[in-house]
């Protein structure tokens, strides 16, 4: 059985805090966060979208 929405949001928040502590995000760092905090594929996609958004259009 999967995680409840509330606990999953907590894991995502912890992952975001951890990523912020690491400095510049990379796809590899996002993958590490997903493994470390047991995030779902949907959460990983969210983090990757945020990574691309934060990089801005010049790096796309």
Q: Where are the domains of the chain?
A: 20-59
Among 55, 9, 56, 48, CA closest to 30: 48
11-45 pLDDT tens trace: 999 999 999 999 999 999 999 999 999 999 999 99
Any residues with CB less than 8 A from the CB of 36 and at least 6 apart, and which?
15, 18
Within the chain, residue ranges assigned H as helices are 5-22, 27-36, 41-55
Any residues with CB less than 8 A from the CB of 27 and at least 6 apart, and which?
48, 51
Q: How far is CA 28 from CA 4, 6, 23, 31, 33, in A?
A: 26, 26, 13, 5, 9
Residue 6, pLDDT > 60, answer no
């Amino acid at each position: 059985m999967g995680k409840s929405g509330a606990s999953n949001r907590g894991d995502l928040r912890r992952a975001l805090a951890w990523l912020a502590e690491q400095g510049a995000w990379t796809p590899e760092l996002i993958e590490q966060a997903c493994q470390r905090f047991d995030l779902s594929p949907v959460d990983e996609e969210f983090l990757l979208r945020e990574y691309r958004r934060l990089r801005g259009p010049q790096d796309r």
